[in-house]
Structure 1
Amino acid sequence: MERIRLTNTVFEGLNNVYVLDGPADGGDPDELVLVDAGVALPEVREQLADGLADLGYGIADVDRVLLTHWHADHAGLAGAIQSESGATIHAHEADAPLVAGDEDSLLEERRLQGEKFREWGMPEGPRAELVDFLEGHADLGGEPCDVEPFADGEEFAVNDRTLEAVHLPGHAAGLTAFHDPAADEAFVGDAILPKYTPNVGGADVRVEAPLASYVGSLLELIDLDPGTAWPGHRDRIDDPAGRAATILRHHVERTENVVDALADLGPSTPWEVSAALFGDLHGIHVLHGPGEAYAHLDHLAEAGVAERDGTRYALVDADPDVSALFPDPGIDRVVEWAGE
């Protein structure tokens, strides 16, 4: 396995594309397979081509692309790769229509975004700024392509590997890790990241009960306990279960912060809680900030700690035991990011 690092100045930055190019014994590959594809920018396509050339390949040699999820910085170049090579593109069934560029699915995703913007109490000015940002970067998703959907548990034979699809929704509805038990490693996309915590609530508005869904995925990763995780951004994670437990604890702390914000502000919208948590927001963070606040408010409402009235949430329990609203990850080790 080889990694190609791609720039990304729009989203989280430093995307990874993983090249599965041959048997572990160094023999000739039966096929050339990529995990993720990078964002659809000319300079990023050039970086991908250069990275493949360094390994003795061209984009035309790619046989398959396994996508961890539909976001443009992971799937944007899939269509261009398919156009040049005829590669088969694989995506989880929840994300496949968006990757394929299905017009009805794209329109529905935009409709849901607009609905959430109203539910979150997003003011007109920031909403207009966000819409302009999203529309101005729509081409980063790349050209439409034919997509082969897969389901949780499906296996992919790749040269001498067998990769199992492990569905980990939360950050995205179809986010999937590809687990290689024999190598004790997993390609995890944005399920866990080494530096940041993946956005929940705003990154994919299709996800219902986003925080609960994501917590379930963190527990799934802890249970899977691969020795190494290869994330969609930045460097490898050497204790994925520990990192997942750290992120879970982060969400407990963030929920406590949301409770404190509601106690200070009184009945509030997700936008107002987001402002208390994160301050002024611009660009893609106009989506991610209130989405994150909403995910935690929704979790509190489902637990009966808060109640929703229109666009506002208010505390029902003034002094809740927030830790009781989350499962125990079952491990005590904490893995924080270190290094660039």
Structure 2
Amino acid sequence: MDRIRLGNEEFEGRNNAYVLDDDDGDDLALVDTGLSTPAVREDLREGLAERGYSFADVDDIVLTHFHVDHAGLAGEIQAESDATVYVHEADAPLVEDDPDAVAAMEDRRQFLLDEWGVPEAKQAELLAVFDDASHLVGEPADVTPIEDGTVLEVGGRRLEAVHTPGHAAGHCCFEISEAPGTERGDGNGDAAGASAAFVGDALLPVYTPNVGGADVRVERPLERYLETLEWLADREYDRVWPGHRDPIDDPTGRAREIIDHHRDRTDEILDVLSEHGPADAWTVSDHLFGELSGIHIVHGPGEAFAHLDHLRREGVVAVDDGEYRRTDEAKTI
């Protein structure tokens, strides 16, 4: 698979923008675009130029989700090329920078930060982080919304969207096969088809994608993400192409590994409640992760909340005034 590696020192490591073109070079598509920063913009421009293309040549942009390290340059590229930008309908308003959608997400985040017990000083620090990073959002794009099962024929490939929420409400994976009339493999000698997929941040080779804090709009975030992982494991792909770092050659094994990680995290959280008594999500995250700064001020308690909320729904913990306590029910994930 032809990918351009893009700089990213803020999140899960170097981003990938995947380049799809047909046999004649007349149909050019990108899967994700990277951050809207001068360095990343230059990475992408140089990568396309090495392949004989420019931003103006891009016909289609397929976004795995709305996060700025995946969608930041979509609007700028569209302005130069009139490319069609595809993203799941749940994330489309954020890529379009719809003020009502942005305000609703900010209100939800503020509500949860208070509910999680995040101290005011840390909330102020987090707000400063978001203010400082506002330039990363990039230009808004005119979006064509997609949904689960949408089939796109772009860049000589046939991509079928699979809605895989958890890390983000509108996160999608895209199963790869060939568009009619082409005879291309996946760029690494493998047969294309259901054996491969673009997986964005649903499955990463090094880190475990954040749930709970990465997108505060997601209801039942851990449950939704575990469903995504089970689906990925059951697909038994030969290889998947993540939004960060290198391809994953054992995606089923990696999905199972992350499921096990969340089981272990559940045990850790229950141990915290057993040892220290009732606690809010911020206090639990402090025991798990220690001092938090930057974006982790929302990611840490967000993940703690995702687990606590899941355990509450299973009857393993109860919550009173934002503080969670163990019950006598058997634990489950």
Q: TM-score, length-normalised on structure 1? A: 0.92
Query: What amino acid does structure 2 have at the position aligned with 1:116?
Result: L
Determine the structure 1 residue equivalent to 2:19.
19
CA distance, structure 2, for counterparts of residue 175 and residue 58 of structure 1? 27
User: What RMSD in Å do the two structures reach over aligned CA positions?
Assistant: 1.1
Aligned counterpart, 1:335: none
- CA distance in structure 2 between the aligned counterparts of 1:157 and 1:7, rounded to whole angstroms: 28
- Is 1:303 the equivalent of 2:299? no
Instruction: Choose the corresponding residue for 2:248, options 237, 250, 255.
Output: 237
- In the other structure, the counterpart of 1:95 is 91
Hey, what does 1:8 align to over in structure 2?
A: 8
What is the TM-score when the length of structure 2 is the normalising length? 0.93
Per-residue deviation, residues 269-295 of structure 1 (Å, max 9, x unmatched): 000000000000111111100000000
Q: Which residue number corresponds to residue 159 of structure 2?
A: 163
Q: Which residue of 2 aligns with 1:213?
A: 224
- Note the alpha carbon deviations across 1:21-75, whole angstroms, 9 max, x for none: 12xxxx3134100000101101110110000011111111000100000000000
- C-alpha separation in 2, matches of 1:42 and 1:8: 12
CA drift at 1:10: 2.1
Equivalent residue number for residue 71 of structure 1? 67
The 8 Å contact of residues 65 and 88 in structure 2, kept in 1 or not, is answered as yes
Quick one: which amino acid aligns to residue 266 of structure 1?
G
- Contact 1:11/1:284 (<8 A) preserved: no
Q: Which residue of structure 2 lines up, in the alignment, with residue 174 of structure 1? A: 170
* 1:170 aligned counterpart, secondary structure: coil
SS at match of 2:324: strand
Secondary structure in 1 aligned to 2:175?
strand
| Corresponding position of 2:188 | none
Sequence identity of aligned pairs in percent?
Answer: 54
1:192: which partner in 2? 203
1:165 is paired with a residue whose SS is strand
What's 1:115 paired with? 111
Deviation, structure 1 residue 257: 0.3
- 5 Å-filtered alignment, 1:317-336, equals 317=328, 321-322=330-331, 325-326=332-333
AA aligned to 2:90 is: A
In structure 1, what is the Cα distance between the partners aligned to 2:235 and 2:60? 25
- Give the distance between the partners of 1:123 and 1:166, measured in 2 at CA: 38
Deviation at 1:241, TM superposition (A): 1.2
Q: Secondary structure at the match of 2:270?
A: helix
259, 262, 265: which is aligned to 1:254? 265
Query: Aligned-pair distance for 1:159?
Result: 4.3
Count residues in correspondence: 318
What displacement does 1:157 show? Answer: 1.2
Q: Secondary structure in 1 aligned to 2:16? A: strand
Q: Secondary structure at the match of 1:39?
A: coil
The gaps in structure 2 that reach 5 residues or longer are: 178-191
- 1:138 to partner: Cα distance: 1.5
Q: Give the conservation status (yes or no) of the 8 Å contact 1:35–1:67.
A: yes
> Could you say which residue in structure 1 is the equivalent of 2:182?
none
The runs of at least 4 consecutive aligned structure 1 residues that moved more than 3 Å come to: none
Q: Does 1:222 align with 2:233?
A: yes
Q: Is the 8 A contact 1:166 1:176 kept in 2?
A: yes
- Distance across 1 between alignment mates of 2:9 and 2:233: 31
Partner residue of 2:278 out of 267, 292, 309: 267
Asked if the contact 2:21–2:156 (Cα under 8 Å) also holds between the matched residues in 1, the reply is no
The CA deviation string for residues 222-266 of structure 1, in whole angstroms up to 9 with x for no partner, is 122211110000000001111111100100000000000011111
User: Which AA in structure 2 matches 1:188?
Assistant: V
